[in-house]
């Protein structure tokens, strides 16, 4: 009897041990997901929508539509002519699945966007009425894309594709670039005639490419990329953080990862300008993800870095301004660094307090189109509107994580996972007036008159992943997942 009882207890303990191991394994897999994935799975609904109750039939139809919508992507146009009252002008639905690393970029009167296996060309010469032109298929999964001269450089898992876009209606895949030993590609950037590729082995490969002259290049070997040459290999140090460009050369300086609240002096060197020299016209930092996988955006004036502290990303911006009337000393001509911390949830709360808003209404595009069998068809936007109740809600959950941000002029344009489109000043108008003498402000007043504009608007009934803003800040273009996808 005792032996039977002992065997029963042993069997019970064995089963419980196996269940514990399985539970730990599932938890570990869950923790390995990125912050955005965890956000979608863990967060409760962040807002209430004023809408009539759906019956069982409508709910069934919604489920079917949701299943189909996961294989589509959405391209949206936001009009910014009146920065205080931007509008959702138009949208196009493409029957292609979009991935987390896909992008939308601008070149002249055309927008180029990538989905999982296609490069799409859209005519935006009339932004309020975007016209789908064509798509170029790829045999592999693709992600990020950048404009370089007459080309779009597209990243795959282990190769870069060079696509000639001299004739936007007929894009041509001319060549393919592989890293040494077929190393995987983590990120890449283009500066002038140099292509900087970050491999998964923590090495940056620098290629020299004439993007304006290469013609009909065949598939290349390691050292021969048509008119491209591998000219430098840079092994990254263990504590590197950001990468800055050395003026006039393909050399890259590694900015060390800060170990305290004081940022390294090397961070300011690329932004500092000699006292007798004008502001440099080219950006001084590579827009490659940091060693902590944070997004980096740079211009000739600003550096903005994503700061991964929680599933809702915070942003830090860095800049230096030349001062003719130093408020902190007797030096008549100084250069001082400025650091600004952007917390979107706090900025959003400030915006709601200042405007007195308790609800936000999601916009509906003025025009909507869908692409079927390679042809664009106009579709009627859904007539129902949705109003978000923002009172007593967790604002981080309401907005969702930042998925992309871009610098244009003195402003940051930001999209978040729940379809929010935001405009915030990179640096306060107060600092601009503090660090520029009054005479030097005269030529900048038109540029700075709207410097303090802050907007947090739920424009998109979708999940944005990439954003582009034209040079004149007249229109913003957004690539998104369907709303019901994850």
**Backbone torsions φ then ψ of 281, nearest 5 degrees:** -95, -10
Single pTM value for the model = 0.79
DSSP 338-394: EEEEE-HHHHHHHHHHHHT-SEEEEP--SEEEEEETTEEEEEPPPS--EEEE-TTS-
Is the pLDDT assigned to residue 403 strictly greater than 90? yes
Query: What token pair was written down for 455?
Result: 């907007």
CATH of domain 96-236: 2.130.10.10
Nearby residues of 217 by Cβ (< 8 Å), 6 or more positions away: 162, 174, 175, 225, 226, 227
65-69, 106-110, 285-289, 371-375, range with the lowest pLDDT: 65-69
Query: What token pair was written down for 285?
Result: 């930092």
Query: What token pair was written down for 4?
Result: 């039977």
The 10 Å CB-count burial string (b at 16+, else e) for 383-407 is: eeebebebeeeebbbbbbbbbbbbb
Is the pLDDT assigned to residue 221 strictly greater than 50? no
**Nearest-5° angle of CA 164, CA 90, CA 155?**
30
* Burial of 129 (C-beta count, 10 Å sphere; 0-12/13-18/19+): middle
**Residue with token string 């990468």:** 243
Q: Looking at mean pLDDT, say which of 42-46, 318-322, 344-348 comes out highest.
A: 344-348
Distance (Å, rounded) from C-alpha 460 to C-alpha 42? 22
Mean pLDDT, rounded, for 342-346: 83
Q: Using pLDDT thresholds of 50, 70 and 90, give the confidence band for residue 33.
A: very low
11-15, 121-125, 134-138, 252-256, range with the lowest pLDDT: 11-15
Q: How many CB atoms lie within 10 A of CB 328?
A: 9
**Residue ranges covered by each domain of the chain:** 66-71+268-486, 96-236
54 versus 86: the higher-pLDDT residue is: 86
Mean pLDDT, rounded, for 337-349: 81
Q: Looking at mean pLDDT, say which of 2-11, 317-326, 467-476 comes out highest.
A: 467-476
């Amino acid at each position: 009897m005792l032996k039977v009882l002992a065997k029963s207890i042993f069997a019970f303990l064995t089963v419980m041990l196996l269940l514990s191991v399985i539970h730990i394994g599932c938890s570990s897999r869950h923790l390995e997901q990125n912050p955005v994935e965890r956000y979608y799975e863990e967060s409760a609904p962040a807002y209430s929508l004023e809408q009539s109750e759906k019956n069982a039939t409508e709910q069934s139809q919604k489920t079917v539509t949701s299943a189909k919508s996961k294989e589509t992507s959405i391209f949206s146009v936001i009009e910014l002519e009146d920065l205080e009252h931007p509008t959702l002008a138009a949208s196009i639905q493409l029957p292609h699945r979009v991935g987390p690393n896909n992008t939308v970029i601008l070149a002249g009167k055309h927008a180029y966007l990538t989905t999982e296996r296609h490069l799409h060309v859209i005519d935006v010469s009339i932004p309020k009425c975007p016209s789908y032109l064509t798509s170029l298929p790829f045999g592999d999964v693709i992600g990020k894309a950048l404009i370089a001269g007459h080309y779009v450089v597209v990243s795959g898992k282990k190769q870069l594709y060079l696509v000639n876009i001299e004739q936007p209606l007929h894009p041509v895949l001319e060549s393919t670039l592989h890293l040494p030993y077929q190393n995987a590609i983590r990120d890449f950037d283009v500066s002038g005639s140099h292509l900087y590729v970050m491999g998964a082995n923590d090495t940056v490969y620098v290629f020299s490419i004439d993007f304006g002259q290469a013609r009909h290049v065949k598939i290349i070997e390691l050292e021969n990329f048509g008119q491209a040459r591998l000219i430098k290999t840079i092994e990254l140090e263990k504590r590197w953080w950001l990468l800055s460009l050395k003026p006039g050369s393909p050399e890259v300086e590694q900015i060390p990862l800060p170990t305290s609240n004081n940022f390294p002096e090397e961070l300011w060197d690329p932004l500092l300008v000699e006292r007798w020299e004008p502001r440099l016209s080219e950006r001084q930092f590579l827009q490659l993800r940091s060693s902590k996988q944070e997004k980096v955006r740079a211009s000739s004036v600003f550096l903005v870095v994503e700061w991964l502290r929680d599933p809702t990303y915070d942003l830090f911006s860095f800049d230096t301004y030349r001062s003719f009337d130093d408020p902190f000393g007797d030096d008549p001509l100084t250069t001082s660094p400025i650091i600004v911390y952007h917390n979107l949830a706090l900025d959003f709360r400030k915006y709601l307090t200042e405007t007195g808003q308790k609800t936000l209404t999601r916009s509906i595009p003025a025009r909507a189109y869908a692409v079927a069998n390679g042809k664009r068809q106009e579709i009627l936007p859904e007539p129902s509107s949705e109003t978000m109740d923002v009172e007593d809600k967790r604002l981080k959950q309401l907005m969702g994580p930042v998925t992309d941000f871009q610098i244009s002029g003195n402003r940051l344009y930001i999209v978040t996972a729940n379809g929010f489109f935001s405009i915030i000043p990179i640096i306060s108008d107060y600092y601009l007036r503090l660090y520029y003498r009054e005479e030097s402000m005269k030529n900048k007043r038109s540029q700075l008159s709207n410097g303090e504009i802050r907007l947090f608007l739920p424009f998109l009934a979708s999940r944005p992943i990439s954003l582009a803003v034209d040079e004149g800040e007249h229109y913003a273009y957004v690539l998104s997942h369907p709303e019901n996808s994850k």
